[in-house]
Amino acid sequence: MQYNDTVRSGGALWWLLHRISGLYLAVILFIHVLVLHVLTKEEITFDVIAERVSTPLWKTINISFLAVALAHGLYGLWVILDDYVHAGWARILIWGVIAVIALVFVVYGSLTMISFQYGG
Amino acid sequence: MAMITFRINRYNPDDERRGHYVQEYALDVCKGCTVLDALNQIKWEQDGSLTFRRSCRSGICGSCAMTIKGVNRLACETQVLALKSPNVTVEPMRGYPDIKDLVVSLDPLVRGLLAVRPYLITKTPPPSDQERLQSPEERARLDGLYECILCGACTSSCPSFWADKEYIGPHAFLKAYRFVADSRDEGSREHLEALDDKHGLWRCHTIFNCVEACPKDLNPTRAIGELKKELVRQRIG
């Protein structure tokens, strides 16, 4: 079956972005483990986490983590499916579903983070 | 000497109804005897219809690449007793169109190879009084790249090739990098042009099957990594 040219994975820029996003995820995960499980001496409770998450810095970190994780993971999924799905209509459908999932989760997650308030 | 049963995957295009089937041949095998020796003995003494490619019997021509006990190897470099099994399965290499018995069509291999322009491309005229010289260091960069014998074992073992029969293939990537890494070559854009494609470099997922399959112990995956970096440099700067 012939490949359809409409949508496809690959390209130098996408390959590079996938590596950079992977590196970013590794750094953020390291910071997460360091802050939460090494530097936090008190007992981890809802109050402790909520207070931290309500700060602008952590909101920014969490939103960027969500966006980069979704982009990295869903692009990886698309790269795998790209190998096996060759029919044009199916490729467009899968690409569309992946794009919608990414958009919905980024918007929903970002709104949740931005509107999150704790305490005073 | 040991009695070994060879289970050979057979196929006759003139008998499509029968399709692929396994035929067994028992053979007394001596120490040092290769799978190619055994196949020759079967063909000469037991069944003249058994079909396979062979030429140099020295691991140079790549003709006798086939799947032996589930692994792509050269029949002429594989000693039967070293497989340590009373049963040896021999199949044609996977992924290529079957022609007959152990013979496959290597058209996809050649197509991928030609796509990367597998030859030295120069733009400046050669020196009038000497060859295009390389330093020993520049020459050493080609070690592990030039030795490929184009047997097709790597591409046959590659899941990306199984999924896309127009995939250029690790053999061609290794060959492309052999020229991109050559200090005398001035055509890296031409070699890389076909690789930045839906059937090209980006379909490699670093599975390493090609490295395990190579009977010459070469490393196409490393070459692919270098080519990806080179393409990023060219496209993004």
CA distance linking residue B44 with residue B97, whole number of Å: 26
What b/e string do you get for B69-103 counting C-beta neighbours within 10 Å, with b at 16 or more? beebbbbbbbebeebeeeebbbbbbebbebebbbb
Chain A residues whose C-beta sits inside 8 Å of any chain B C-beta: 3, 5, 8-16, 79-80, 82-84, 86
Q: Is A67 left (phi over 0), alpha (psi -120 to 50) or beta?
A: alpha
* Fold observed for domain B2-104: Ubiquitin-like (UB roll) (3.10.20)
Query: Candidates 1.10.1060.10, 3.60.10.10, 3.30.2010.10, 1.10.260.40; correct CATH number of B107-236?
Result: 1.10.1060.10
Which residues, in sequence order, are bridge partners of residue A108?
Answer: none
User: Where exactly are the structural domains of chain B?
Assistant: 2-104, 107-236
The reply to whether residue A12 touches residue B164, judged by beta carbons under 8 angstroms, is no
Tell me which of B140 and A44 has the higher pLDDT. B140
pLDDT band at A11 (very low <50, low <70, confident <90, very high): confident
**Interface test mutation site (partner A, options B164, B168, B230, max chain A beta carbons within 10 A):** B164
CB-CB neighbours of B11 under 10 Å: 20
* Fold observed for domain A12-115: 3 helical TM bundles of succinate and fumarate reductases (1.20.1300)
Q: Which tokens go with B54?
A: 């062979």
User: Where exactly are the structural domains of chain A?
Assistant: 12-115
Q: Is the pTM of this model over 0.80?
A: yes
Which pLDDT does position B236 carry in this prediction? 82
B232 and chain A in contact, CB less than 8 A: yes
Q: Which tokens go with B201?
A: 């470099």
Tell me the mean pLDDT per 10 residues along chain B, length 237: 96 93 97 97 97 96 97 97 97 97 97 94 92 95 97 97 93 97 94 87 94 97 96 86
CB-CB neighbours of A50 under 10 Å: 13
Nearest CA in chain B to A5: B198
Q: Which of A12, A79, A80 lies closest to B196 in CB terms?
A: A12
